[in-house]
Amino acid sequence: MMEEFGALNTKGFSSQIEYGALPESTHLPYEGVFNESKFDGGDGVEFPLDHQLGYARDQFLGSTHDKNINDYLAIFVKGNKDGKDRDDRILNATICLDISGSMGSGLTFDSGSRLKLAIEAIRMFVSKLRPDDSFGLVVFDDKADVVITQTKVANLDLSKTFSILDTINTRGGTTIREGFVTSQKNLYDYVTDNKCTNS
C-alpha cells in the first residue's frame, strides 16, 4: 500500500474528527479534496484582483470511514488579466512550489507526477519572461527553501535554471505558510533593493 503524505491524505482529517480526536497538523491543509475532486473555476472577473467560488460534490468510495456524499467549497483568486496578453509592465515573480509527498502522485494514471507537470509549467513560464523581468523560486514541504534567489532575467543563466529544476524532488508534509513567508521575503528583498515600482 502506498503511504500518503501531506494534503493527499484524505482520510486523516475526517477519521480523526469522527473518532473524537483532534486531527494531526499534517491533515489540516485542505483534507486532500483537490486531489480527488474537480471544481469549476468559473468565468472571468471584472476587477484586477477578485475571487471566484467553486463547488464540488463527491463521494470517496475508497474511504474506510466516510462513504457519504460530501459538498466542498473552494475559493479561487483570479484577476481580470487572466488569459490575456501582457502589457509592457515589468513582471517580478516568485513561484512558490509545493514539493510535499502528495506532489509525487499523478493527476491521472498516465500524466506523470504533479511535481513533473508543475516543473514543466515553470519552464514554460520562465521561457516567456522578458529580459527586464525578474524570477525567483521557493520550494516548500514542512519547511521552505529559496532555490533561485530573485534575479533579473537578463542575468539568469537559463540553462543552469532549468538544470536546477531537474534536481527538485518531493519530500515531507505540507506547511504552506512557510512557503508563502519565504517567497514574500525573496520578492520583497529584490523589489526593495532594486527600487521596483511594479510587482
Q: Is 36 left (phi over 0), alpha (psi -120 to 50) or beta?
A: alpha
Statement to judge: residues 128 and 177 lie in one domain: yes
Amino acid letter, residue 156: L
Considering the chain, what is the average pLDDT of its residues? 80
Q: How many domains does the chain have?
A: 2
Chain segment 4-44, per-residue pLDDT in tens: 444 444 455 556 556 666 656 555 444 344 555 666 767 77
Do 168 and 103 contact (CB within 8 A), yes or no?
no
Query: Does some domain include residue 160?
Result: yes
Task: Note the pLDDT of residue 34.
Answer: 52
Chain segment 115-166, per-residue pLDDT in tens: 999 999 999 999 999 999 999 999 999 899 999 999 999 999 999 999 999 9
Task: Note the pLDDT of residue 162.
Answer: 96
Statement to judge: residues 61 and 119 lie in one domain: no
Statement to judge: residues 117 and 25 lie in one domain: no
- Which residue range is the domain that position 151 belongs to? 92-193
Q: Which set of grid coordinates corresponds to residue 60?
A: 470517496
Chain segment 78-95, per-residue pLDDT in tens: 888 877 888 888 999 999
- From CA 149, how far away is CA 68, in angstroms rounded? 46
Task: Note the pLDDT of residue 69.
Answer: 78
Q: What is the pTM of this model?
A: 0.67
Task: Note the pLDDT of residue 1.
Answer: 34
Q: Which set of grid coordinates corresponds to residue 147?
A: 532555490
CATH number for the domain including 173?
A: 3.40.50.410
The mean per-residue pLDDT over the stretch 45-73 comes to 74
Instruction: Write 16-23 long-range contacts (CB < 8 A, 24+).
Output: 18/65, 18/66
- From CA 184, how far away is CA 190, in angstroms rounded? 10
Query: Is 6 exposed, middle or buried, given 0-12, 13-18 or 19+ CB atoms closer than 10 A?
Result: buried
- From CA 128, how far away is CA 105, in angstroms rounded? 27
Query: Does some domain include residue 87?
Result: no
- From CA 119, how far away is CA 164, in angstroms rounded? 10
Q: Give the closest residue to 174 by CA, choosing from 42, 53, 50, 13.
A: 13
Among the residues of the chain, which ranges form H helices? 10-18, 33-36, 114-127, 158-166, 176-193
